Structure 1
Amino acid sequence: MSAPSDNLVAGLSDAEVAARVAEGKTNDVPTRAARSVSEIIRGNVFTRINAILGVLFVIVLSTGSLINGAFGLLIIANSAIGIIQELRAKQTLDKLAIVGQAKPLVRRQSGTQPMPPSEVVLDDVIELGPGDQIVVDGVILEETNLEVDESLLTGEADAIAKDAGDHVMSGSFVVAGSGAYRATKVGREAYAAKLAEEASKFTLVRSELRNGINQILRFITYLLIPAGALIIYTQLFTTDSGWRESVLRMVGALVPMVPEGLVLMTSIAFAVGVIRLGRRQCLVNELPAIEGLARVDVVCADKTGTLTENGMRVSDLKVLESRSVTDVLAQLAADDARPNASMAAIAEAYAVPPGWTATATAPFKSATKWSGASYAEHGNWVIGAPDVLLDPASPVAEDAERIGARGLRVLLLGSSDRPVDAPDAPGVVTPAALVVLEQRVRPDARGTLDYFASQHVAIKVISGDNAVSVGAVAGSLGLQGETMDARRLPEQQDELAETLEECTTFGRVRPDQKRAMVHALQSRGHTVAMTGDGVNDVLALKDADIGVAMGSGSSASRAVAQIVLLDNKFATLPYVVGEGRRVIGNIERVSNLFLTKTVYSVLLAVLVGLAGLSAEIFDTDPLLFPFQPIHVTIAAWFTIGIPAFVLSLAPNNERAHPGFVRRVMTAALPSGVVVGIATFTSYLLAYQGRAATETEQTQASTAALITLLVAALWVLAVVARPYEWWRVALVSISALAYVVIFSIPAARELFILDPTNMTTTSTALAIGIAAAAAIEVLWWVQGHVLGERRRLWRAADG
């Protein structure tokens, strides 16, 4: 903490801060868009599915059959599991958000120190430097070459120079210079807070899973209405079984139509993914970003801070003229209030400045690639990219190029013929020295790039550094492909996209070019992830499909990214991709189970309903629905409920495929039709008509249930592929559970089962086995239709 000096605007006193807090003039906007605890509880309890099951539960209770109301436990289980997992995810994210949030430098009379944004109050004085995000609206009090980028708010691409008295808006960020501003609007009065509430600028990551499941649920709703109406009418008004029996059969038809666990399992899969990634210090600002990164096929990686470590050191100094340049380097570094990594390395190497007074300064900008200062009689000095400050064909620039080819960063120190704040600066530059900086390649970078290569994800290295130097670093990491100087990049999007397909490494890239490169790749149908840590990466991070920022990066880059790697490890990305694949693959499996159940339940209801209508028309025996609620409840336990929970959390490294809805419906519809027709056939063969005794009706229901269980277990066996030992165990235990239920007399009595008629039971088993064989054939045919190689067992390499 440093005390304010006399020539700076003083901040608030502790008493003034306390008074503003008491008046509620604080920056009370939540740090991240997250549901509160009460919202989580309401969101998981008061759902459409819980409402449907709740009404059906009350109807069943009115009949006095408590055991048939067992499905009501689903309401409690769905709500409790959903609440617990979402609260765990919220706790993880909130802790990480506190660690990763931008902390503005607040100047008060008690000292200047970084503070959480929520502790900023009205009239606070906040200091600014390159890469700082402006957290509240305010008025500039002090500035030194201050430039602010407001593109995230206004869409205007050019940085705007700010003078004392100018207004700045929250959500913008500093690209160059330094200064201080006084907070004039805080909390929900601030511009960015209003913008976010109106949702006019900030959008969620596009989620194929979320959109697909919503589309499927709409489709199911259209099926439920006519099927439900038909079964309600036929069971209540065409049968003569008494209102209790009719009501129980009606509810038995309606309950399995509701995919009660689909949304729950999806939420759990995402929540567990957040918790797992949180343990790796990965902050996921938007949950579908986990899914998005798993679908990425191009990763645009910044070199500095991503492939190489942030820190640098001066490894060599090539002096080009007789006068001492170490004093100049020391003074330039000392005069930089917010040094970047290069100037920090120079300040460490040349720590004793001569004490000159700067008459003019020019901050470093990614667009210009140089900075400098004028020192009256000591001259005008600039430091930056040799190939920018000099003619690239000059001997000094060529020498710098040769050094850079070894993967080193080279800066030119030179004297200028005009002040650095002149409109046409830097003017003519006379070389004085080449400063050679060494960056260490991250030890985990090679393995990470190899992983992406093995997964057919293209890597594009995009950097503001010299192209030859960037190419050398990329080459040392095993990246193949051409290197290009971005100053030669075409501006036309189609031509730019073509160039990006051909080249791998790009140097001297401006911030606006990074953004254009992301757009060009997206125009070719690529799903693009952008990694970066600097202020020059912000625009590209925002426009990429998935933005990944380093925790040590600028506050602006962390603010716009969907994923923040708080431990600054590029090697965490494969784990994020793996988590996304687990979520996508497992939700697809679980969706197959739930939608198969919905399809066969709706089909069975329609077939029974049509049979009931025909009975009314032709005056034949009406058809009771085969199942009471307890039957469909126990059928769901081990064919869907428990296996779906296990499968939703299981490891899964399969590549993410597009077309979620098509793939799920291609699998679930045929399987559901087979199960529904087989179950209806088994029931028809066992049904004894209106004259059937209660025992005969129970035996017919049991026969239909046996057929359904055999077929549904084979659906589970297919969905669980490719097999590993634990998947085989899951299917086997599920099948064994039903054998146990049917073997224990007390369980048979409790669950209203009677398999004692061996002819009926044997027929039901045979039909179930035939249905299982049909499902097996369908699985292989579906693989051919979808163009997928079917495998029974997981390969040794996963």
Structure 2
Amino acid sequence: MDGLTSVTHGLTSAQVAGAKANHVPRRSSRSLSAILRSNVFTLFNLVIGVLWVLILIFGEWQDGLFGLVIVANALIGIIQELRAKRTLDKLAVINEAPVRVRRDGEEREVGPRDVVLGDLILLGPGERLLVDGEVVHSDGLEVDESLLTGEADPVHKQPGDRVLSGSFTVAGSGAFVSTRVGTDAYAVKLAEEASKFHLAHSELRSGVSNFIKYITWLVIPIGALLIYSQLHNSADLGTAITGAVAGIVTMIPEGLVLTTSFAFAVGVVRLGRRRCLVQELPAIEGLARVDVLCLDKTGTLTAGGMDLDQVLPVREDEPVDAALAALAHLDGHPNATAQAIRARYPAAPGGWAAGSTVPFSSARKWSGADFGERGAWVLGAPDVLLKGGDSYDTAAELAATGTRVLALCRTDSLAGTELGETAIEPVALVTFKQRIRPDAHETLNYFAKQGVTVKIISGDNPVAVSAIATGLGIPRADRSIDARTLPHDDPDKLGELLDSHTVFGRVTPRQKREFVTALQARGHTVAMTGDGVNDVLALKDADLGIAMGAGSPATKAVAQVVLLDDKFATLPHVVNEGRRVLANIERVSNLFLTKTFYAIVLSLLVGVAGVMFPFAPRHSTLVNALVIGIPAFFLALAPTLERSKPGFVPRVLRFAVPAGVLCAVAVLLSFWAAHKGASTLLEDQTAAVITLFLTTWWVLVLIAKPLTWWRAGLVGAMAVLFAIGLSLPFVRDFFALEPGDLSNDLTAVGISILAAVMISVAVKLAGTLRP
């Protein structure tokens, strides 16, 4: 950069102080006002609030206990999301890569929000462009604009060319002056579309939203029918209103949205403690569904960096050491290979001034420079530069042991960025020792046991990658494929090869993207890990992109999950958390929607038959607390390792509909049988409440399976609490329970046992059905 004119020395401190800063909202979490609005101003809160006011006017205050649900839902939702917000915001700041700028003639690093209009921003491989600008210096600068244009080919940038935020550097280096920052930048203007594009799909979230939408429409006509029937069949207006409210309140799954948000938020906090940043909440769901994990060897199985091992000259009359040192010191931002060579050759040799240069890129797999009278030299993959011969065979033998091998060659000319038919003469083979992650073997064993298929996708020699994968015990790792032999125009054939093989070498960035698409087309849920700029396209298209914390800013920007501590061993915890969240939300959804369906059926039957509603709101509050509210809280946070499967909505319906219908019929039968005798209304309602509790408690038992010690203790404790409630006079008085008619109560228990058997059979039969 020393050759730049004085204009490129950057802004002065005084100019920075008065310039417009790059202030843009972080996408890690919602604002405080948005959190408050979303938790307070909801349709459910409005409906429950109106019903609560009606009870306070026409009924007894004990029947208005359900109104506390509004306060509880709002407070719990706000507190949990604020807790998750703090975690996300802290991690987001850690995840933000600093921007290199030149100010007052000196290079310095600043935070993304400290970049200002007119700043001179320096670029190196893998760095993301956060603002728009105009290039003022280019040293082989190549920019990938695929996230903006969809075109995967990198674009060469020369002084005067425009660059846009949202793109990233793939090769070379350079500098540009920022011309648009903050909300004026191109990527920020497209933020709404970009967020739609990047937002992880959530079958769970859309399923819950659909449930709410349909139930809302059902509540209106059924509620009207229920109100009419209660007013028509009761001389007491207060009793009529109380009965109608009881039915309507029970229909509303008021805790379902809360529990879903609660489980997501707790998952985010738990992962945050493991230094894992979840940039999109629904990404947690993707963690649970993954059945294929694509790993990039470098930075994932192997630790970042490597060590130069041997330099094996092919010709003794060539200045091998000087050429290696000169090539390694060309780039001001060396990659891992150049850093390893620099460790051996800490100083650039004298008299090796480069004319034209070609920076390294993952697509080319080589770099080079023309040193004038010293000749043109290239360093890259032997199977790319060499077309056979003894050197090629020696390199292949070394690669078969898992060693990384590069070829140092002389050539007539660099011929732009393609060697073409230029004569290439091997001069030396250079080997590197790769550092295998100590946690790789244990982590890979975990995925094998969990039924997650691992695919190793690398730009390195397939034989070398296969040797490393075999040493780590990856199944079928000996079956490696050179990606250059794969079909490009036959996605079906490509998918078959991806399913039948494990290790793929010499994969280009575009092929990584094709691999993800081909696997998705075969019904797989694909997670892709990566740390290099060559992984960006695949990370963006995968169902779940996982970036390493030490990776390039571009990879961390497009991934939904970032492992900030760079530990491969964190991945099992990430997957486990996703499975825990999804499996538990499905469990509690079964609970809430069983309640909704029994309330809908009960309200319809009561409305059509024109009889009294079998229980009061306070009865519903008691039963719902014991069989839904308290158990749901524990079940939503329980550990589980079961992998989630598609079909969340049909599975919940197959359970909740038959269970809800049978619960409603049992409650109505108990109330009808009791009402035919000489008992009082409270005794009749108590019989109905006993049946309601026992049948829904049995539903809880079915949902809590497998009954581990703590789950058995949970469902047992709920039964004990209900029995205590029936036994204590002040509890009975508070909840208007009067179990005084033994005949009614025994009839209710008998009907409940029969209903429990029928629920078990119906749910099992419904579970065998396929949508």
1:197 and 1:103 map into 2 onto residues whose CA distance is 24
Say which of 483, 487, 491 aligns to 2:484.
Answer: 487
The partner residue of 1:399 within 377, 394, 397 is 394
RMSD value, Cα:
1.8
Checking the alignment, whether the CA contact within 8 Å between 1:4 and 1:112 is kept in structure 2 is no
Match of 1:645 among 633, 643, 655: 633
Match of 1:381 in 2: 377
Q: 1:16 aligns to what?
A: 15
The unaligned stretches of length 5 or more in structure 1 are: 613-622, 788-798
Q: Deviations over 1:455-487 (max 9, x none)?
A: 222111111111111111111111233101111
The 5 Å alignment of 1:513-532 reads 513-532=511-530
Deviates more, 1:762-771 or 1:83-92: 762-771
Q: What CA distance in whole angstroms lies between the structure 1 residues aligned with 2:237 and 2:694?
A: 31
**Separation in 2 of the partners of 1:432 and 1:140?**
37
Alpha-carbon offset, residue 172 of structure 1:
0.5
Task: Return the match for 2:724 from 740, 754, 758.
Answer: 740
| Alignment pair present for 1:609 and 2:607 | yes
Q: Is the contact made by 2:234 and 2:612 (CA closer than 8 Å) also made in structure 1?
A: no
Matching residue within 293, 296, 302 for 2:290: 296
Match of 1:272 among 266, 272, 290: 266
Q: CA deviation at 1:219?
A: 3.0
Return the letter of the residue paired with 1:384.
Answer: G
- Higher mean displacement: 637-646 or 348-357: 348-357
Shift of 1:781: 3.2
| Structure 1 residue aligned with 2:41 | 46
Q: How many residues align?
A: 766
TM-score by length of 1: 0.93
- CA–CA distance in 2 between the matches of 1:572 and 1:290? 14
Partner of 1:618: none
What does residue 361 of structure 1 align with?
Answer: 357
**For residues 300-356 of structure 1, what are the alpha-carbon distances to aligned partners after superposition, in whole Å with 9 as ceiling and x for unaligned?**
110100111111001111011223311111121112211111111001111132122
Structure 1 residue ranges, 4+ long, deviating more than 6 angstroms after superposition:
2-8
Q: Does 1:569 align with 2:553?
A: no
Moved more, 735-744 or 28-37: 28-37
1:772 maps to: 756
State the partner residue of 1:239. Answer: 233
CA distance change for structure 1 residues 109 and 708 in 2, over 3 Å: closer, same or farther?
same
User: Which of 605, 609, 613 matches 1:625?
Assistant: 613
Of 277-286 and 105-114, more deviation after overlay is shown by 105-114
* Contact 2:59/2:239 (8 A) holds in 1: no
Question: Which structure 2 residues correspond to residues 497-512 of structure 1 after superposition, within 5 A?
Answer: 497-512=495-510
Task: Give the residue type in structure 2 aligned to 1:18.
Answer: A
- Counterpart mapping for 1:196-235 below 5 A: 196-199=191-194, 202-235=197-230
Separation of aligned partners in 1, 2:262 and 2:17: 42
Which residue matches 2:690? 706
Q: Residue 654 of structure 1 aligns to a residue in which SS?
A: coil
- Residue of structure 2 equivalent to 1:634: 622
Cα-to-partner distance string for 1:551-583 (whole Å, 9 max, x where unaligned): 111111111111111111122111111111111
Alpha-carbon distance between aligned partners in 1 of 2:415 and 2:139, rounded to the nearest angstrom? 13
When structure 1 is superposed on structure 2, of 44-53 and 651-660 the one drifting more is 651-660
Match of 2:645 among 637, 649, 657: 657
SS in 2 for 1:665: helix
SS in 1 for 2:507: coil
Between the aligned residues of both structures, percent identity stands at: 53
Contact persistence 2:606–2:612 (CA under 8 A): yes
State the AA in 2 paired with 1:388.
V
Q: Distance in 1 between matches of 2:221 and 2:432?
A: 73
Map 1:527-546 onto structure 2 (within 5 A).
527-546=525-544
Amino acid at match of 1:253: G
Match of 1:82 in 2: 77
Contact in 2 for aligned 1:330/1:346 (Cα 8 Å): yes
Amino acid at match of 2:708: E
Going from structure 1 to structure 2, the CA distance change for 1:345 and 1:272 (only over 3 Å counts) comes to same
Of 656-665 and 315-324, more deviation after overlay is shown by: 315-324
Aligned partners of 2:28 and 2:92 also within 8 Å: no
Mind listing any 5+ residue stretches in structure 2 that lack a counterpart? none
What SS does the aligned partner of 2:410 have?
strand
Instruction: Report the Cα offset of residue 784 of structure 1.
Output: 4.3
8 Å CA contact 1:295–1:656 kept in 2: the answer is: yes
Question: Does structure 1 retain, via aligned residues, the 8 Å contact 2:482–2:505?
Answer: yes
The one-letter amino acid paired with 1:149 is D
Contact kept in structure 1, 2:658 and 2:763, CA below 8 Å? no
Amino acid at match of 1:686: A
- Relative to structure 1, the CA distance from residue 676 to residue 395 in structure 2 (aligned partners, 3 Å threshold; closer, same or farther) is same
Letter in 2 for 1:374: D
2:28–2:89 Cα contact (<8 Å) kept: no
Letter in 2 for 1:773: V
1:184-221 deviation per Cα after TM superposition (whole angstroms, max 9, x unaligned):
00011111001113458633111111121122223323
1:659 CA displacement: 0.9
> Residue type matched to 2:692 in 1?
L
AA aligned opposite 1:187: G
Which segment drifts farther, 328-337 or 716-725?
328-337
Q: For 2:349 and 2:450, locate their aligned partners in 1 and report how far apart those are by CA, in whole Å.
A: 55
**Structure 1: distance between partners of 2:10 and 2:87:** 35
Alignment partner of 2:629: what SS? helix
Contact 1:4 1:109 (C-alpha < 8 Å) held by counterparts: no
- Deviates further, 447-456 or 658-667: 447-456
Deviates more, 1:11-20 or 1:671-680: 11-20
Q: For residue 737 of structure 1, report the CA deviation from its aligned partner.
A: 0.6
- Residues 756-797 of structure 1 show CA distances to partners (whole Å, capped at 9, x for unaligned) of 11111121122122222222333443454479xxxxxxxxxx
Q: Structure 1 305/711 Cα, relative in aligned 2: closer, same or farther at 3 Å?
A: same
Once residues 598 and 504 of structure 1 are traced to their aligned partners in structure 2, the CA distance between those partners, rounded to angstroms, is 47
Residue 709 of structure 2 corresponds to residue 725 of structure 1: yes
Matched, 1:70 2:88: no
User: In the superposition, relative to structure 1, how do residues 179 and 8 fare at CA in structure 2: closer, same or farther (>3 Å)?
Assistant: farther
CA distance in 2, matches of 1:668, 1:290: 25
- 2:309 maps to 1:315: yes
Out of 476, 487, 491, the position equivalent to 2:471 is 476
The answer to whether the Cα contact below 8 Å between 1:4 and 1:111 also exists between their aligned partners in 2 is no
Give the whole-Å Cα distance in 2 for the aligned partners of 1:191 and 1:228: 50
2:108 to 109, 113, 120: 113
Please state how far the C-alpha of 1:149 moved relative to its aligned partner: 0.8
d(CA) in 1 for partners of 2:684, 2:526: 57
Contact 1:269 1:587 in 2 (8 A): yes
> Whole-Å Cα distance in 2 between the matches of residues 515 and 782 of structure 1?
40
1:331 equivalent in alignment to 2:315: no
Residues 718 and 779 in structure 1, CA contact (< 8 A), matched pair in contact too? no
* Residue pairs, 1:546-561, within 5 angstroms: 546-561=544-559
Give the residue type in structure 1 aligned to 2:750. Answer: A
CA distance in 2, matches of 1:130, 1:203: 23
Given the superposition, is the C-alpha separation of residues 476 and 104 from structure 1 closer, same or farther in structure 2, using an over 3 Å criterion? Answer: same
How does the TM-score come out when normalised to structure 2? Answer: 0.97
Q: Residue type of the partner of 2:641? A: N
Higher mean displacement: 415-424 or 596-605: 415-424
Equivalent residue number for residue 342 of structure 1: 337
* 3-state SS in 1 of match to 2:159: coil
Query: Do the aligned partners of 2:443 and 2:569 also contact (CA within 8 Å) in 1?
Result: yes
